[in-house]
Structure 1
Amino acid sequence: MPDKLLYYTQFGLRLEAMMKYIPRTAVLSALILFFGIIFLFLSYTKLRRDSVPPFSKTDLEETDLDKIRQQVEQINPFFIKNKGQAPEDILYYFQGNNGAVYFTKEKIVFQNKYPIASEESSTTTLLVREVVHQMRFEGQQDDVMISAEDKQEATLNYFVSGVDVTDIPTYGKIIFRNIYPHIDAVFFFADNKLKYDIVIHPNGNPEDIQLAFEGIDELTVDHTGKLLLKTDAETVVHEAPHTYQQDGGSNISVSASYVVNRDNTVSINFGQYDLSRDVIIDPTFSSLAASTFLGGSSSDVLNGLVSDVTGNIYITGYTWSFIFPTTTEAYDEVFNGVTDVFVSKFSSDLATLSASTFIGGADTDQAGAIALDSSGNVYITGYTVSTNFPTSTGVYGQSNSGGDEVFVA
């Protein structure tokens, strides 16, 4: 029985849903039916081909549909006003391909969608999943005013389930005014990314700012000052707060950093600044700074990840792939058995595979965790069934006593 997930549907708050399994047999049946209809249609079309004027490849490439698609792709993201098409809790929202963001008076809700393969039977089922986390301004004032600015050209009409709402306006900016005395929050898009500014006006107290999160497994600040929100699906990143004051046409930088408090709220520490001017805190939401594949021709499983002080990323797991990528002069460049442990090192931007090796014997070997010490040495642990799993001279146990054995390397 799949786990329950608490998530926001497109227009429903706090609904419980099950992760849905979509049988590929059903998909295959639908495809067979679809292509059967296409075959009949093409057969009929062939009989009438002589009565239809021919058209050129150019006609196909320059259709109005292509032009419309190009225009749609050029539209900047926008916020949509709720005029009754959504529950009254939602004031504005953004709907994207991979999720949505909902703005209520009390919180901002982030819904992310993840298509993932089922571990139980990756060859027969697909697993569709949605994960939600929430951000709110802890201790915000009751009289906070939420409004929209920067009206966009797009106007939407909504017709579904008996609900008809027309002329829905769209905006480029959402403003939470007076979340704390003399402090506002502004949400907007830049480079197609959702961003927010916290603006401290004169007489505003930066110590009032407390960000609280729900639906987060772990909340940390990394060595670069980024706020990391770990969910069971990904790590959402709030970039280190770029903080400044405006003086004429210039921006004067102000020192600021995130602090995770004992109650799991987040505050912001400030350096000195001009109390007579606005202070603008300018972070950016980011859920995917970099992404890469690593693997071979068969199944590859990641079980551990850690980074060093310079941002290099170390991973471990196990693989069935005899062509899993390894690097020259690595400890072991050759696949050994049923499954082998792998240990790999990436640059911080995931652009370079700096090192990668197999570790294993002739049977099953699987790593489950990885760690680094202060000198940069890598430690892994897991279990092995291989009687020839590599060991070093003088260690505690140099041979497999039978069955599954724990290893530390």
Structure 2
Amino acid sequence: MKYIFIFEILKQPKTIFMKRVILLWLNLMPVLIFGQSTLPEPVPESPSNSGFYYENQGQVTDHLGTVRPDVLYYTERTYPSVYLMKDKVAFWDMVQGDTSVAAPDTLRRIDMQFICDKQGGGRASGGMMPPCATLQEYEISQDHLNYYLPHCGTGITDVKGYARIVYENVFPDIDVHLYSNAYGPKMYFVIRPGGNAADIQLKFEGQDSIAAISSVLKMFLGSWRMSLPLAYAYEIDSSNTSTLLGWQAIWQHSGGGYVNILPGSYDTSNTLVIAVGAGGGTPLSQQNLDWSVYYGAAGEQRDGQIDADDNSVYHGMTEHGNDFPAQIGQSYPQQTGIAFTGDWCLSRFSNTVRRWCTYYGGSSVDKLTALKVYKGTDAEVVRTGDLWVAGTTISPDVFEVPVPPAFF
């Protein structure tokens, strides 16, 4: 994959910063192959294309600008955003005050910790002994991400996504699967033969209050209400056949954010699966619609540009304020809207899925202004399909690469 960035310095004597014009050329990469599911379901649900979990290879930072190696995987475009660590899962979102400099944005983060005691051989007695589990990835995505940001060295490229991340043996003989469906992120507690659902103990932190109402767990943080519904339960027998059970498990809150699950009866020689999250639905038919996509994330997206050739649709935008909250609960960072930050977000779509997405920018504002795909209108057919993007920046640390003379 080749990336060429062309910069022109513009003199502006009446300003205190240097403004640059950015042109970006992208050559396309091959795509990845989608794998198979690793957990049979009585009512199979496809993962959401926006709900894949991408591996952190050093590209994740928090809103204070600190690189976060403790984040192992993360979702890019779900609500809420889901970040996976060794012993916990963080859910977060952002509420933008408005576009003025003085209006504070609000970051909200609630963590779900796995309370385990590996040394004690079972149920935790008030202390956590991380790491609780080994994380495994399954069902690779058809797309990949690229990052050309100041903290990414010469670039972090070809970042894979996975439909399913499994916390293996987070409790004795119990795994936790992170997945998604059309409604958003989804989670499964998988109790294998020999496991005991009573060993599932979680601690939620960051919320103002918590309420366990039968099969729905609700956390309240400011104006945010995050719900975790226990959707259904089923068994998997030795022949890998799944059967729905006629009961829903119940959340139990014992105080201090500590929560456990009360299941119904089942055949303990089988594997019990308790699903958490809303059930999937069927999209409404649109007879004259070829395809469409809702494309957003935490923070704000602006300056949308679009172009297409015979094979793909290309989209570019300026994306603001999409950084992981450094603390749990509510925090009010300096305005992260138009005045202070912004990176380019460039994507290629086929008529079924996104093929790749590239983030490019510096430590300040990088504004995308134009996007055009080369369609081979002259003799240089070799460049057909190349993507050119232009914009401006006041960042002093954007990624620069010399451009070969052949491009002029």
TM-score between both structures, scaled by the size of structure 2: 0.47
Q: In terms of Rg, which structure is larger?
A: 1
Q: Which has the higher contact order (CA 8 A, sep 6+)?
A: 2
More helix by share: 1
Q: TM-score, normalised by structure 1?
A: 0.47
